[in-house]
Chains A and B, each alone.
Chain A
Amino acid sequence: MAMSRSKRRAGVLLNVAGLVLFFVAFFAADLLARPVWLLGGMAVMLVVVVASFVATFWRTKLWHLVHRRSELLDEREMRVVHEAVNRSYAVFSVLCLALLLILLQFEPEVPPAGKVLLAGLIYLAHMLPAMFVAWSEREV
């Protein structure tokens, strides 16, 4: 099913916003002894996430595109998916590491190993693509 780019972008924003608000409500519910209105808000956010997923990613077959085996994609699709995975890796790495850094700040007694591990993960996230190229390519 075709969908205009502006509608797809709106769907993506809605999906991410729904997910973020769901997690915020989840943590808030834990702090505020789970009031009913907050649980209701969580349910609404879950519906928003599922509905925007179905409309933006499932019906348009975008989800299928990025999860299909590469042998079943043509060269343009492969390039599109490759660029998307490339960007996703960068965004996901930054998000995870930033989250880890924030959690470490709130931890009262962080063992030194925790900070060393974080530094190691930052290095690994930065170097992994170059490591794969170094491992597999005959000439660079």
Chain B
Amino acid sequence: MKGRHLYNRIAVLRRERGISRADLAEAIGVNVQTVGYLEREEYNPSLDLALRICEYFGLPVAMVFSARPMKALSQELMERRSDREE
């Protein structure tokens, strides 16, 4: 069975925090090339790896991975805020 395409914010989060690919790879226990594949959304991680990535960034899964194209983080936060205010 061919899995569906998963979108993620790994590249944005990594750059935002000034972390190198090598550091992220070491922290989540994968090869540097695998981080590249994940960032280009050419590889869907297992649930275990996805959870490790989310734990590393300290974010819930829904903020890092999605089955639909992801909006910019700032836009999503603004929308959540206005939803709460309504």
Bound-state Cα–Cα, A76 to B3, Å: 14
B49 at the interface (CB under 8 A from A): yes
Q: Are B31 and A74 in contact (CB under 8 A)?
A: yes
Q: How big is chain A's contact interface, by range?
A: under 10
From B31, which residue of chain A is reached at the shortest CB distance?
A: A74
Question: Number of B residues contacting the other chain (C-beta, 8 Å)?
Answer: 11
Question: What's the count of A-B pairs with C-beta under 8 Å?
Answer: 18
Bound-state Cα–Cα, A75 to B30, Å: 8
From B38, which residue of chain A is reached at the shortest CB distance?
A: A76
Least Cβ distance of B6 to chain A in Å? 13
Q: Are B31 and A75 in contact (CB under 8 A)?
A: no
A83 at the interface (CB under 8 A from B): no
Q: Which residues on the B side are within 8 Å of A75 (C-beta)?
A: 30, 34, 45-46, 48-49
B29 at the interface (CB under 8 A from A): yes
B37 at the interface (CB under 8 A from A): yes
Least Cβ distance of A71 to chain B in Å? 12
Q: Which residues on the A side are within 8 Å of B34 (C-beta)?
A: 74-77
From B49, which residue of chain A is reached at the shortest CB distance?
A: A75
- 18 A-B pairs within 8 Å (CB atoms) are namely A74-B29, A74-B30, A74-B31, A74-B34, A75-B30, A75-B34, A75-B45, A75-B46, A75-B48, A75-B49, A76-B30, A76-B31, A76-B33, A76-B34, A76-B37, A76-B43, A77-B31, A77-B34
| Chain B residues proximal to chain A, CB less than 8 Å | 29-31, 33-34, 37, 43, 45-46, 48-49
Q: Which 10 A-B pairs have the closest CB atoms?
A: A74-B30, A76-B34, A76-B43, A74-B31, A74-B34, A75-B46, A76-B37, A75-B49, A77-B31, A74-B29
